[in-house]
């Protein structure tokens, strides 16, 4: 059974759809990094202890869940599903910024997360405006 958008909706705006595909690609990469090769993002990271394995794998699974939600939303061409998925991602990114600031201060990673959250907020606002017109 194919996903269908109700006839009163046109679908996801192209700019937001392109951004979503970028998020899907990047998220897939970071799922791999966090789950299998955390040293690619965190040079001193290892998977030698159970707690490190659990922490990185848990983060990888969270990333994968978000990627799958994005994928379902964009394949279904459903702006409402994508809206709520992106809203949840904004809160996750901002939470990661707070944790990063507490643990390490301002780093390249926290700046990247701030930029990502900002672009996700742009997409959410774009979807909000699109749904209300």
Give the residue extent of every domain in the chain: 14-131
Residue 14's Cα: distance from chain center in Å? 18
Helix (H, G, I), strand (E, B) or coil at 107: coil
Tens-level pLDDT at each residue, the chain (133 residues): 555 544 445 789 999 999 999 999 999 999 999 999 888 888 888 888 999 899 999 999 999 999 999 999 999 999 999 999 999 999 999 999 999 999 989 988 899 999 999 999 999 999 998 877 6
How far is the C-alpha of 39 from the C-alpha of 34, rounded, in Å? 8
Residue 36's Cα: distance from chain center in Å? 18
End-to-end CA, the chain: 29
Q: What is the pLDDT of residue 45?
A: 83
Decide if 63 contacts 24 (C-beta within 8 A). Answer: no
């Amino acid at each position: 059974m194919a996903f269908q958008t109700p006839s009163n909706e046109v679908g996801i705006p192209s700019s937001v759809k392109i951004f979503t595909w970028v998020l899907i690609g990047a998220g897939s990469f970071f799922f791999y990094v966090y789950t299998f090769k955390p040293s690619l993002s965190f040079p001193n990271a290892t998977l030698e202890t159970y707690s490190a394995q659990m922490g990185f794998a848990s983060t990888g699974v969270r990333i994968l869940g978000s990627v799958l939600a994005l994928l379902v939303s964009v394949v279904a061409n459903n702006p409402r599903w994508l809206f709520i998925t992106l809203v949840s991602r904004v809160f996750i990114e901002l939470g990661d910024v707070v944790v990063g600031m507490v643990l390490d201060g301002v780093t390249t990673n926290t700046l990247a997360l701030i930029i990502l959250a900002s672009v996700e907020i742009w997409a959410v606002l774009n979807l909000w405006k699109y749904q209300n017109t």
